[in-house]
Amino acid sequence: MTNDQKDPLFVLVKSLSKSEKRQFKLYVGRLGVNSDSKFLALFNHIDKYDAFDEQLIVKKGIVKKQQLSNLKAHLYKQILISLRLNPVHQNIRSQIREQLDFATILYHKGLYKQSLKILDKAKTIAKEHEENNIAYEIVEFEKLIETQYITRSINSRADELSIEAKELSMKNVLTSRLSNLSLQLYGLMLKTGYVKNDAEHREITTYFESKLPKYEWEMLGFREKLWLYKAHLWYSFTTQDFLSCYKYSKKWVDLFEEYPKMIKINPVFYLRGNHYLLESLYYIKDREQFKTVLNRLETITSSKDFPMDDNIASLVFLYTYNNKLNLHFLEGSFEEGLPLVNTILEGLSLYKNRLDDHHNMVLYYKIGCLYFGTGDNRMCIEYLQKIINNKSLKMREDLMCFSRVLSLVAHYEAGLDYHLETQLKETYKFLIKMDDLHEVQKEMIKFLRKLGDIFPHQIKDEFKTLYTRLKQYENHPYEKRAFLYLDILSWLESKIESKPVGEIIREKAKGLMR
């Protein structure tokens, strides 16, 4: 039975670097009795093969079938222990946790003073790095020890710990409420995309304002501010207020500039902040600042001082190439963007176990748009079909929606109109089912549906009519999102003026520069 894509052990072993594999074997071999152990034999087998086949493992006599599940679990645990010992995977949190473990051991041995001394140091480090959850845990442990062993003559010790616990608890509660709000707004954004009407706008605004906790600015530390900016950012994205998106994503990135040591501790948040800043700049079409931020991000992430592991490497790839594609869309330099495709496909293969379906599909959509911009409509259709045929894609229904609309346009452009009527019906049914049939989409489908009845000499006038109808929605609060996914106005201008769509976009970009 081949089950390599879902088996956690197989995925974990295949994620290991050469140095991590070498360390694991050294870790296992620290005791001679392990040198021929069954779990090491299983490790070597998985490392050797490109697929996970349980029947082959049993056939080779590594382990009996009824013992395989337990052996897999044991090997999985041993690999994690080995990775935990690797200096590459050590960070502030793991160091504090390690000190907490040491203090726990000393406590159980009755060495209370030594335990408290380690706890005090660990607490100081935790507070310095705003690891308030662990700091609170440490204070609670200190209180436990103090109730069992009076270590100081200072009468205020109990009050000190109580006040400290209360302050940390309040911070943690505020952080939790802000992070919950941010996560819930992000989930809504992924599921339903942008608000579609006044009713949805009122609903999300009421939700946001009712869930946003009251706070005093003076009591906010790094983490509280970070989650506050995130919550505002997702509210702004959902309501299509892209200037506010820029405002809060900029605050997010500036926060890390204010606390530079936090970049090494929270590199993922730093990367995401820069990505959303770039996305905001893309939406407001600030090309020059976009290029500045992207270049700076590439410089920082390629620096030897920037923390790097497998997860961060996959995110650097995702955010860098996502925004490189966006830059070509801003500039209308579609042909120049084509060399990125092979690099992106290689990255998707390299990080296939770390990138989810949603992010893969976003890159496929943008590659499709890139080919559409070059006039290679068949390649555009090929990448859009990867999204349309993805039955497991549960998030971002708007991405699926515009993939279908762009696919219709690409089929028309490629002259593949023999199935256009069937596709029109399927797309129309899909949009009605997801309750996402907006005026822009209605006009597009209406136009494509009557193409067969239009004489060739009339087509340019029909393009002009459609352009006039769609232009009124370009800055509409709820209809404008259609133009974020597909620059249909530039496409129509290219048909009307008989110019490549890239040339139209380049002319617009120059106009923005003046």
Domain assignment present for 180: yes
Last residue of a domain, one of 211, 239, 267: 239
pLDDT at 324: 96
Which structure tokens are listed for 293? 């931020």
On whether both 100 and 119 belong to a single domain, the answer is yes
On whether both 119 and 189 belong to a single domain, the answer is no
CA-CA distance, 330 to 484, in Å (whole number)? 11
Question: What single letter denotes the amino acid at residue 461?
Answer: D
Which structure tokens are listed for 244? 């506010």
Domain assignment present for 32: yes
Helix H or strand E encompassing 413:
helix 397-413
Last residue of a domain, one of 222, 239, 256: 239
On whether both 12 and 82 belong to a single domain, the answer is yes
pLDDT at 2: 44
Last residue of a domain, one of 216, 239, 262: 239
pLDDT at 155: 58
Q: What is the pTM of this model?
A: 0.80
Give residue 502's region: left, alpha or beta (phi > 0; psi -120 to 50).
Answer: alpha
Domain assignment present for 345: no
Domain total in the chain: 3
Q: Supply the mean pLDDT for the chain.
A: 85
Place of tokens 């860098």: 320
Distances (CA, A) of 494 to 188, 235, 442, 454: 36, 35, 21, 19
Residues 415, 418, 419, 420, CA torsion sign:
positive
Domain assignment present for 45: yes
- Residues of the domain holding 130: 92-153
On whether both 113 and 57 belong to a single domain, the answer is no
Please list, in sequence order, all residues whose beta carbon lies within 8 angstroms of the beta carbon of residue 218, skipping any fewer than 6 positions away.
none
DSSP string, 46-100: HHH-SS-BHHHHHHTTSS-HHHHHHHHHHHHHHHHHHHHHSGGG--HHHHHHHHH
On whether both 23 and 74 belong to a single domain, the answer is yes
CA-CA distance, 435 to 484, in Å (whole number)? 19
On whether both 75 and 119 belong to a single domain, the answer is no
Domain assignment present for 15: yes
pLDDT at 202: 93
- Do 177 and 213 touch, CB atoms closer than 8 A? yes
Domain assignment present for 53: yes
Domain assignment present for 334: no
CA-CA distance, 509 to 173, in Å (whole number)? 47
| DSSP three-state, residue 2 | strand
CA-CA distance, 349 to 437, in Å (whole number)? 35
- Do 343 and 358 touch, CB atoms closer than 8 A? no
Please list, in sequence order, all residues whose beta carbon lies within 8 angstroms of the beta carbon of residue 322, skipping any fewer than 6 positions away.
275, 362, 363, 366
DSSP string, 419-455: THHHHHHHHHHHHHHTT---HHHHHHHHHHHTGGGS-
On whether both 206 and 226 belong to a single domain, the answer is yes
Domain assignment present for 61: yes
Please list, in sequence order, all residues whose beta carbon lies within 8 angstroms of the beta carbon of residue 267, skipping any fewer than 6 positions away.
306, 307, 312
On whether both 77 and 124 belong to a single domain, the answer is no
- Do 174 and 225 touch, CB atoms closer than 8 A? no
Chain length of the chain: 514
Divide the 514 residues of the chain into consecutive groups of 10 and give the mean pLDDT of each group. 65 85 83 66 86 83 85 90 77 88 91 91 92 92 80 64 88 91 86 81 93 89 93 93 95 95 91 96 93 96 89 94 94 92 94 84 93 91 90 66 83 76 73 69 76 73 86 82 76 85 78 53
Residues 218, 220, 222, 225, CA torsion sign:
negative
Radius of gyration of the chain (CA): 28
Q: Please report which residue ranges of 338-375 form alpha helices under DSSP H.
A: 339-350, 357-374
